[in-house]
Amino acid sequence: MKIKLVLISFVLIIAAISLSSCKHDSIPPIIDESAIKDTVYFNDVVLPIIQSNCAYSGCHAGEQNPELSNYSSIKKMVNPGDPKNSRLYTYAIGNKMPPSPKTLLNLDQVTSIYGWILQGALENTEPCDAFQYAFKKDILPLIQRNCISCHNKGSTNGTGPNKGELTDYSQISAKANTILDRISGKNGSIMPPSPQKPLSDCKITKFSNWVNDTIKDN
Ligand code: HEC
């Protein structure tokens, strides 16, 4: 009888352990610091990730602590130079934030946050040249940084065969004119939506130059 009880408790404990590990089954990413060669800019890379994933209405836009809507509030969550001891990074890999229906940050986004903290968590902005508008080097990263949290694979924030997906050349080029209208706030609600800041004039002109120069896949 005793042996049976011991056996049953053993099985229950194992079941409990495996169930709880199911919930937290993602292993913290191993970030290759040597691969972060380029400057990670706060205003162009980090802020859009945080605004579209965390600082939206009802969450960390002020309603929930910590507030994460601007540089000074975000800076309070980091130890410049030490990402592993920065709450902004440990939250991002903690497998809880952002909560459903948002998806967890992807490895690129987590790596950007890590790199920015490692480089000193500065309030910096990438220099912009509107005449640099090659698709792979300029246009795709622009969309990936500012739009992908809502227009990723499986997104239904849009119409047509690919619905709201804006992840590759065919999808972005098919909606190039609609994108241009939306980022410049001409037709329909402006993209990215508030509280994310609108794209800078230089970035809107960059996208417009790409559209006017025959939407090349270069
Ligand atoms: C925080 C979420 C969010 C972000 C970030 C975002 N969008 Fe959207 N987008 C939406 C939602 C929701 C809709 C559907 C409602 C609407 O049309 O306004 C939409 C619709 C659109 C549409 C219309 C799609 C169609 O098929 O008619 C375009 C184009 C668009 N977004 C472009 C962009 C671009 C470009 C960016 C980045 C510069 C961006 N969006 C960033 C949420 C977002």
Is there a domain that residue 155 lies in?
yes
Question: 149 with 205, same domain?
Answer: yes
Question: 112 with 149, same domain?
Answer: no
Is there a domain that residue 59 lies in?
yes
Among the candidates 118, 144, 175, a domain finishes at: 118
Residues 143-179 have pLDDT tens digits of: 999 998 889 988 899 998 889 999 999 999 999 999 9
Q: Which pLDDT value is given to residue 23?
A: 43
For the Cβ of 175 lying below 6 angstroms from any atom of ligand 1, the answer is yes
Cβ within 8 Å of residue 139, ≥6 positions away: 133, 172, 206, 207, 210
**Global pTM value:** 0.83
In which domain, by residue range, is 198 found? 135-212
Question: 145 with 113, same domain?
Answer: no
Residue 181 has pLDDT above 70, yes or no: yes
Among the candidates 118, 152, 181, a domain finishes at: 118
Is there a domain that residue 84 lies in?
yes
Question: 114 with 37, same domain?
Answer: yes
For the Cβ of 55 lying below 6 angstroms from any atom of ligand 1, the answer is no
Q: How far is the CA of 166 from the centre of ligand 1 (A)?
A: 9
Residues 70-124 have pLDDT tens digits of: 999 999 999 999 999 999 999 888 777 788 777 788 888 999 999 999 999 999 9
Number of domains, the chain? 2
